[in-house]
Structure 1
Amino acid sequence: MILLQANDVMRRFGADVLFHNINLQVQDHGRTALVGRNGAGKTTLLKMIAGITTPDEGTISKVKNLSIGYLAQDQGLDSQNSIWAELDTVFAPLHEQEKEIRQLEEQLASLDTTSSQYQQVMTTYDRLQTNYKKEGGFEYESRMRGILTGFGFGEQYYNTPVNALSGGQKTKLALAKILLQAPDLLILDEPTNHLDMNVLAWLEDYLKSYQGALLVVSHDRYFLDHVVKDVYDLDNRTLVHYTGNYTQFTHHKQERLKAEWKHYDQQQKKIAKLEDFVNRNIVRASTTKQAQARRKQLEKMDRLERPSTDDKSIHFHFHSDKASGNEVLDVDHLKIGYENQVLAGPLSFAVRKPQRIGIIGPNGIGKSTLLKTILHRIPAISGTIKLGANLDIGYYDQEQQQLHTNKTVLDEVWDDHPEVPKKDIRSLLGSFLFVGDDVYKVVHDLSGGEKARLELTKLSFKPIDFLILDEPTNHLDIDSREVLESAINEFPGTVLFVSHDRYFINQVATDILDMQRDGVTHYVGNYDDYLAQGATAPTPTTTTPGSEKKATVSKGKQSYKQSKEQQRARRKLQRAVDSLEDQMGQLEEQQQAIEKKMAQPEIATDIGKLTDLQKQLDQLKKKSDEVELDWTEAAEKLEEFDQQH
């Protein structure tokens, strides 16, 4: 059953159209994602669907009495209540029923059990009790405890005033309250912000079993892969619907665009061929009728639009001027914190070239503090840190404190490299989507995403052999995250990073460090490998530096070797696909050449020559069919490889 439907919806901003021809359906129990680039209009569309705003054109219809819960980005609660009292307001109707039930119990206690009035009151009492049970009156407290626990609010938080919480905690509590309301349609705009991995895993499981429907916007691709079953892509100012999770959507979109280009190119070649025939033959008496027929064919043709997509994305790479030594970093019995207040430790681990190590752990454990301590920006409380000799270190700060708030975008980069011509600086900024007057924007006026791109701009300009990244995917849209992943995977140096983006970790990590208060545990592989090992993984312990280094180096080399072998295998499959595509193109050109030859007047009347050319054409078509079959098999193997890895 369709719960909600958008038909031909449009939104304008002045004379500009943000999006148009928007058609969307949300099914009962549906799990639907809305994806698209930053600025495409996803939040604007969600507000229309939630009934907060109305479309400029088109309609949004919904079933009668549909209850909708909408969580805006970073929407927090503002309340004088305690956490428990605030969530308890969701069940105000149940509390009214409780009062009625208590009043009836008092009335029954004062009546003669044999009287008719007693029987009447008892009938009302039974009806209320049944309804109270049906609406969850005996379960709501356990539901509250379960959801609060899932979001990391233990019993010690129950009496905490909501206004005493951090912004991130208020956002989590707002989501918890909406989940308790259990609306028929749950609309969530970036619900995974401020959630650590444990809470994300809990939320994914909760939403999978949620009885209502879900419509969600998220940059968390791992979350989308595990929760949604269909995807609407807001691309090129309109919506395209795909079935499947996020990874399946990306494959289907690539296939659709490839097919559209193929059909478009075929039609363009056909149009060029017809136009050429018309131009050459329209004035010749013997072929005028044929030319006129082809002209009519051109006029009646339903011409395909040139395929297009919102493909404006950053493009860059990290580079190094020299190769570092194998020993990049040794951390031994390190305790980190502030003013002798220990956040975590003792921590012991080693980093070796060319590992890409992801650090994970609960929020507040000190992951960012660890990176700053390694960089000597914060003093260590105890223990040792040994960096490799002559390292060129690049650091990405999630708080973006390395940027100068009063400088322009252009000066922020150019002041670091005054010897570089201005046009080269602007060219570099252009590759990070700072074009035109964007380069004269002042840093403090930039959005979080623009500041993130500016930091990456500065990193890409300098030589680096050890890259240290603190939550680098925050503020980046999905396309930019994928470009960053490619840049890291192509980087020949060593990478140590903190991230809660599980999809990102899966794409780039060769090793995982699971950080806890009292130590760190090393796992070989990416996030999925970490989960697979987690069931039998030892609790965090501090090993001796020598043994930890030996294990990390050997496992790291093995993991890196496996990663390289996978990359080689994929390149081999890709080369096979590309080669077959080239063959298909060459065969198509040969067929077109023969068809063009057969259309020549001097050959069109020569049966012998036409017969020979037709034989050649038949052979080429047969060969083309064989190559296309081989291409299909190769493309399927490549897709299967990508899904498995």
Structure 2
Amino acid sequence: MTTLIQVKQLSKSFGEREVLKDCSFQIRNGEKIGLVGWNGTGKTTLIKLLSGLIHADTGSVTTFPSTLRIGYLPQSTEYEVHIENELYEHGEKLLHATSALGLDRNITTERTRYGTLSGGERLKLSLAKIWANQPQFLCLDEPTNHLDMRGVNWLVSEVANFDGAAIIISHDRYFLDQTVTKIFEIEDSLLTIYEGNYTDFRKEKQRRIDQQAWDYEKQQRKINMIEKQVSKLKQWSDKAHRDAGKRDNPGERKQMGLREHERVKAKKKDNQVKSKMKRLALELSKNKMEKPKEEQKVQFDFEYSGKRGKRILEAKGLTKSFTTHTLFEKSHFYVKHGEKIGLIGENGVGKSTFIKMLMEEEEITKGSLWKSESIKIAYLSQDVDDMNDNQTALEYLNLSGWENTSRARTIFANMGMKEEKLNKPLSVTSLGEKTRVKLVHMIMQEYDVLILDEPTNHLDLPSREQLENTLTSYMGTLIIISHDRYFIEKLCDKLLVIENKRIKRVETGLGDFRGQKDKQLEPSRKEHLEKLAILETKITELLGKICIVNKESEEYAVLDRELVSVMGMKKMLKENGCAKSNNRL
């Protein structure tokens, strides 16, 4: 494979903080690389360096060719796409990509609707723009944030079929496992390369940690053994020196030979001590094993007030309409105390709108939405741009009393946010760190229900895994919107599904629900394959006939028109089949 990007001894600092140190690697054509690390370690900085958006302090980034077309998706909750300009420049390419992603054609052509698009719809338009530009190298920063499962499936397929190279920052384990074959990890300003997908990386990293721990303990045992030997030799040497200097009586003073013998023995012991210490120093200078760094532990400590009840939420005939369209209507469902509910559906079907209705921030068009008056609800929105960037993390929490402030500092430390970050403006924190600030704000409250809208967006992978573990043991009610398949499958055993303009309750988890959907598709899939087989047989038959007919004859023209028609039917049937496949939740 040819090299697209060559990086040599790259370093980058912001003020006194060194983000990247002496990074060297190359990216070959066709490679798909996942870039992982804790929030704030420099992942976004690295892909901005590769994209030419910022410059390194030292080192070089060389592209082959120098005019390499780079498709860059920034990490943001807002994506700027000027639709009219894009349609003029790319036309059908953009529309084809948006159609495959599940966007209505009107969304891409009616400029007036752009202000009402969901975060997922804006992201899809940005991805479609990148693909329409036909890049040779992709730099994608959190491309699955806000994407529904159809969008994720499309992106998995597109990345797999993409001929160029890609480097992808993602905290979506499913997406990384499906798309990348190499992992770059940034830790302590250094870049380490692992072969394989994310699951392979976690296994190999743990193996290296275990091996380093074993080698370190082995070396420590050897050091302790040598130090004990040296200590014993020093005791013998001190005794020999004392014996060599004794002059307790005239008889001993006459024994010059004995004193000389003790002096020689003492000197020999001294030399042995020096030799052992020299050998130990030499070995440590060449092969000193550092104690493996313990992985940061993230701890989420959600409290629960312990209030009991049966149904805490019930909808009857719930409808939400806007002037131009209806999101959902005539919906009946309920939520019981203690249930863990996943709220799923494609982008733009009204998931966030329903949550706003539940929080009384959006009006109900028709029907009713009852909730128990005794419950307290904590809501984590997917938008972190609503925070005052001039405030510090502690100012945002608006805490009173030493005990509350001390508890908040402890939780921040458990979540991997350093003390110095707490007193800096939010404007200099990453999106993942802002999400943690919001989570701490929730933790400091008492509540019965947690509503989490894309809670793993911008969280690094260790934080996602720890949040899963904590929420598994949470005794209150959870309502979770997430396109992180692993997250939903691990936590939620019930679903609220928005499809066909209805919100319906499903008494299974996501895995079983998807399995049932697949079974429903099997008969139609079989019929689809049978139709394809008939058309392919017809095409083979026509090709056989047309080969032996004179090109100038009327018969040839008839056969040619029929062949074109049948091939068009086959193409249409295949496209419809792909659309149905991509449309599965």
TM-score (norm 2): 0.72
Q: Could you say which residue in structure 2 is the equivalent of 1:373?
A: 357
Are residues 204 and 345 of structure 1, via their aligned partners in 2, closer, same or farther at CA, if it must alter by over 3 Å?
same
Alignment-mate amino acid for residue 299 of structure 1: A
Q: 1:337 Cα shift?
A: 5.0
Distance 1:422 1:153 in 2: 46
Mark the runs of 5 or more structure 1 residues left unpaired by the alignment: 89-140, 539-645
Q: Could you say which residue in structure 1 is the equivalent of 2:292?
A: 307
Q: What aligned pairs does 1:153-552 form with structure 2 within 5 A after superposition?
A: 153-156=103-106, 159-160=109-110, 172-282=124-234, 284-285=236-237, 288=270, 290-301=272-283, 302-308=287-293, 311-312=295-296, 314-337=298-321, 342-387=326-371, 390-399=374-383, 409-410=393-394, 412-413=396-397, 415=399, 420=403, 422-432=405-415, 436=419, 438-440=421-423, 448-536=431-519
Does the CA contact (< 8 Å) of 1:264 and 1:305 recur in 2? Answer: yes
Are residues 66 and 266 of structure 1, via their aligned partners in 2, closer, same or farther at CA, if it must alter by over 3 Å?
farther
Distance 2:130 2:444 in 1: 45
Q: 1:312 Cα shift?
A: 4.7
1:7 aligns with 2:35: no
1:519-570 deviation digits (Å, cap 9, x = unpaired): 13444554444333322359xxxxxxxxxxxxxxxxxxxxxxxxxxxxxxxx
Alignment-mate amino acid for residue 314 of structure 2: D
SS in 2 for 1:536: helix
SS in 2 for 1:335: strand
Distance 1:446 1:234 in 2: 18
Which is further off, 286-295 or 230-239?
286-295
Does the CA contact (< 8 Å) of 2:80 and 2:126 recur in 1? Answer: yes
Q: Could you say which residue in structure 2 is the equivalent of 1:147?
A: 97
Q: 1:238 Cα shift?
A: 1.0
Distance 1:348 1:167 in 2: 24
Does the CA contact (< 8 Å) of 2:94 and 2:132 recur in 1? Answer: yes
1:172-204 deviation digits (Å, cap 9, x = unpaired): 444323323433332222333443321221121
Are residues 512 and 171 of structure 1, via their aligned partners in 2, closer, same or farther at CA, if it must alter by over 3 Å?
closer
1:376-432 deviation digits (Å, cap 9, x = unpaired): 4444333343445743433323346997888764355455x6594654454445445
SS in 2 for 1:535: helix
Does the CA contact (< 8 Å) of 2:306 and 2:476 recur in 1? Answer: no
Which is further off, 492-501 or 43-52?
43-52
Q: 1:458 Cα shift?
A: 2.6
Distance 2:357 2:70 in 1: 43
Distance 2:477 2:321 in 1: 25
Q: Could you say which residue in structure 2 is the equivalent of 1:612?
A: none
Does the CA contact (< 8 Å) of 1:10 and 1:55 recur in 2? Answer: yes
Distance 2:353 2:326 in 1: 11
Q: Could you say which residue in structure 1 is the equivalent of 2:553?
A: none
Does the CA contact (< 8 Å) of 2:304 and 2:476 recur in 1? Answer: yes
Distance 1:49 1:228 in 2: 18
1:139-170 deviation digits (Å, cap 9, x = unpaired): xx5x5553231234444456445996669556
Are residues 76 and 424 of structure 1, via their aligned partners in 2, closer, same or farther at CA, if it must alter by over 3 Å?
closer
Does the CA contact (< 8 Å) of 2:299 and 2:411 recur in 1? Answer: no
Query: Bigger relative contact order, structure 1 or 2, given CA contacts below 8 A and separation 6+?
Result: 2
SS in 1 for 2:519: coil
Alignment-mate amino acid for residue 496 of structure 2: L
Distance 1:535 1:240 in 2: 40
Does the CA contact (< 8 Å) of 1:71 and 1:174 recur in 2? Answer: no
Mark the runs of 5 or more structure 2 residues left unpaired by the alignment: 238-264, 522-585
1:273-295 deviation digits (Å, cap 9, x = unpaired): 21232133145256555544432
Which is further off, 267-276 or 9-18?
9-18
Does the CA contact (< 8 Å) of 2:496 and 2:504 recur in 1? Answer: yes
SS in 1 for 2:236: coil
Q: 1:71 Cα shift?
A: 0.7
Q: What aligned pairs does 1:29-44 form with structure 2 within 5 A after superposition?
A: 29-44=30-45
Q: 1:324 Cα shift?
A: 2.1
Does the CA contact (< 8 Å) of 1:172 and 1:194 recur in 2? Answer: no
Q: 1:5 Cα shift?
A: 3.2
Does the CA contact (< 8 Å) of 1:315 and 1:432 recur in 2? Answer: yes
Distance 2:429 2:137 in 1: 34
Alignment-mate amino acid for residue 339 of structure 2: Q
Q: What aligned pairs does 1:578-589 form with structure 2 within 5 A after superposition?
A: none
Alignment-mate amino acid for residue 38 of structure 1: N
1:216-274 deviation digits (Å, cap 9, x = unpaired): 12233222121111111111211111222222222222222222222222212222221
Distance 1:229 1:78 in 2: 31
Q: 1:61 Cα shift?
A: 4.4
Distance 2:95 2:208 in 1: 46
Distance 1:53 1:331 in 2: 51
Alignment-mate amino acid for residue 224 of structure 2: A
Q: Which has the larger radius of gyration?
A: 2
Q: Percent sequence identity over matched residues?
A: 29
SS in 2 for 1:277: helix
Q: How big is the alpha-carbon RMSD for the aligned residues of Structure 1 and Structure 2? A: 3.6
Alignment-mate amino acid for residue 456 of structure 2: T
Are residues 387 and 173 of structure 1, via their aligned partners in 2, closer, same or farther at CA, if it must alter by over 3 Å?
closer
Alignment-mate amino acid for residue 398 of structure 1: Q
Alignment-mate amino acid for residue 513 of structure 1: L
Distance 1:63 1:56 in 2: 22
Q: Could you say which residue in structure 2 is the equivalent of 1:597?
A: none
SS in 2 for 1:391: coil
Distance 2:364 2:35 in 1: 44
TM-score (norm 1): 0.66
Does the CA contact (< 8 Å) of 2:107 and 2:113 recur in 1? Answer: no
Are residues 331 and 423 of structure 1, via their aligned partners in 2, closer, same or farther at CA, if it must alter by over 3 Å?
same
Distance 2:141 2:485 in 1: 19
